Structure 1
Amino acid sequence: MELHYPDPGEAYLGLRAMKMVAETLTPAARHLLTAVQTHILHTDYDLDTLPSITPGELAQGFPRPALREQFVQGMVVMSLVDDVPTPAQIQRMEAFATALGVAQPAIQNIKFLTEKNSLLFRLDFMRRSHLRSMVADQFQNQVFWGVVKGFLGLRGFLEEPELAAKYHQLKNLPPATLGYQLWHHYQSHDFAFPGERFGFPEAAIYHDLCHVLGGYDTSVGGEMQVTAFIAGFRRTYPLYLLMFVQLQFGVGVKVAPIETASTQSILATPGLADVMFQALKRGTGVNTDLSEGWDFWPDLAQPINKVRERFHIQG
């Protein structure tokens, strides 16, 4: 993901439209817009006094195509801070996107949710989300049977002792290596290794490696940060990663393939929106999309600091 930074005039117009998409400045919406001002816009407008704006006014002041696209993506995230978007929110997003000339499929995706068409919502979400990429990577490496084994293992119906043994052997690496730290991450949280019952398929291990490389914990806040970090370097549909955590923890819609906590209005937590944006910006500095096609095994024997240096992971 490439972040684009508007000038103060563009920022003012965009904030006015974002406030309209939010409908109400709930604590979560207020924290999100404040973090946007701090980390992207570099402004300090009073949110309460921002006037409304027409789609035409917004389009006239937003000439850059890349900024238009980014703004529409931001609208989608804003609409998911507290609950399923209302029909009025969907209509506003459609009007702004049309005026800007941006065709964003994510708006139609959450429109299915608003219309209570959960089947179409899930099918449409899955075909663009990182979950589809995990399945594709699993298929590429192990063909169809690999996808089946990964699913059965995740559900606890299959074990692959030889695969699990490879991960357990990581404990024999020096403590400073990425592999040892990955093993420690699994052990300290009592997570199942790939190949064990309820273990993640190997195509999803990059997520845990990003926890380790980024230093993000496994709390809800940590999951928000690591997902934003991954969205920062992801090349394909990064918006859907941000949607994923907002759906799961903002709206309370279960989209994770495993049993995990769902909550609402998570960004009402003071400071969380700030660290989420920090993680997103940090991810944009990474020089490789680690979420697709990364052969991480050669890196596991390397010192973790060397791996961070190789991929330009700062901090």
Structure 2
Amino acid sequence: MKRLGDTWGTTGVAMFVFLKGLDHVLGKEGSEAALPAAWRLYERLQRTFTAAEDIARLRQFEHLPAGSLGREFWEYCQRHGFPLPGQPGAIPFDAVRHDVIHLMAGYGPDREGELLLVAFCCGFFGKRRPHSTGRQVVGPGRLMYTLRLPGDEVPATVRHMRRIARELGRREGATVSEARVERAYERGRAMTVDLLNGWDYLLVAHRPLEELRRRYGILPE
């Protein structure tokens, strides 16, 4: 159990994506009827491995000043119907950062927004690790899927971003333009902070969102 707790950030996301994939195939009621034990297990593990202090800190976002990162994120979750950890159906705490970066970048949680976020993150991530391997799990709610990055590398060029746009359009019917993908990548490259490593959104949740965007060099779209 301790080993599972140590890896819950990764294991929990994988389990959540799998169950949401069933939502897409069967519909939420169908997936819950087909695998009720799996949903119950997921919720039980969430309660077990999510620290009470982390849940409490996220709940405080609602009460932060208007315009702050925390308050804007709380409103973002309300608009899109995203429960926070500690509530049924929530993503694992370690995955909250993904949606915080959506807010920082200004991209929505739809297929096109997910693709733009991948390009945006590859911009700042690739500056430090242009040849890192891995996959990016993207997709809102019932549109979860796994996108293999070209050559299993984190792309470090606009050319790779264009290939992703074409591939996503072919596979998923996404309509995002290659120009927007290129712009998202450029916005990430211009940043002064790696939002995936060494950045703690909880420590700056009280700061104005627009101030943080200026401080981190996040350019307008």
In structure 2, what is the equivalent of residue 276 of structure 1? 181
TM-score by length of 1: 0.44
**Pairwise CA RMSD:** 3.4
- Which ranges of structure 2 fall in alignment gaps of 5 or more residues? 17-41, 148-167
By percentage of residues, which structure has more strand?
2
Q: CA deviation at 1:177?
A: 0.3
1:174 aligns with 2:65: yes
Question: For the residues of structure 2 that align with 1:303 and 1:253, how far apart are their CA atoms?
Answer: 31
**Of 129, 152, 171, which aligns to 1:236?**
129
Report if the CA contact (8 A) 1:178-1:300 is conserved.
yes
In structure 2, what is the equivalent of residue 300 of structure 1? 205
Aligned residues: 163
Question: For the residues of structure 1 that align with 2:177 and 2:43, how far apart are their CA atoms?
Answer: 33
In structure 2, what is the equivalent of residue 189 of structure 1? 80
1:148 aligns with 2:42: no
Q: Between Structure 1 and Structure 2, whose CA radius of gyration is higher?
A: 1
> After the TM superposition, which parts of structure 1 deviate over 6 Å for at least 4 consecutive aligned residues?
none
Distance 1:240 1:275, change over 3 A: farther
| SS class of match (2:218) | coil
In structure 1, what is the equivalent of residue 108 of structure 2? 217
Q: CA deviation at 1:231?
A: 0.9
Output the amino acid matched with 1:183. W
Q: CA deviation at 1:308?
A: 0.8
Report if the CA contact (8 A) 2:123-2:189 is conserved.
yes
Question: For the residues of structure 1 that align with 2:131 and 2:217, how far apart are their CA atoms?
Answer: 19
How is 1:1-315 mapped onto 2 (pairs within 5 angstroms)? 145-148=5-8, 151-152=11-12, 154=16, 155-157=42-44, 158-159=46-47, 160=50, 162=52, 163-234=54-125, 235-236=128-129, 244=136, 254-255=145-146, 265=170, 269-315=174-220
Output the amino acid matched with 2:191. V
Q: CA deviation at 1:196?
A: 3.4
| SS class of match (1:180) | helix
Report if the CA contact (8 A) 1:233-1:286 is conserved.
yes
Question: For the residues of structure 1 that align with 2:218 and 2:7, how far apart are their CA atoms?
Answer: 30
Q: CA deviation at 1:302?
A: 0.1
Report if the CA contact (8 A) 2:9-2:93 is conserved.
no
Cα distance per residue 1:145-178 (max 9 Å; x no partner) = 2423774584433324833332122111111100
Distance 1:288 1:161, change over 3 A: closer
Report if the CA contact (8 A) 1:164-1:196 is conserved.
no
TM-score by length of 2: 0.61
Question: For the residues of structure 2 that align with 1:145 and 1:201, how far apart are their CA atoms?
Answer: 12
| SS class of match (1:212) | helix
Output the amino acid matched with 1:292. N
Q: CA deviation at 1:222?
A: 0.7
Question: For the residues of structure 1 that align with 2:89 and 2:73, how far apart are their CA atoms?
Answer: 17
Distance 1:297 1:253, change over 3 A: closer
Report if the CA contact (8 A) 2:120-2:187 is conserved.
yes
In structure 1, what is the equivalent of residue 161 of structure 2? none
Percent identity of equivalent pairs: 24
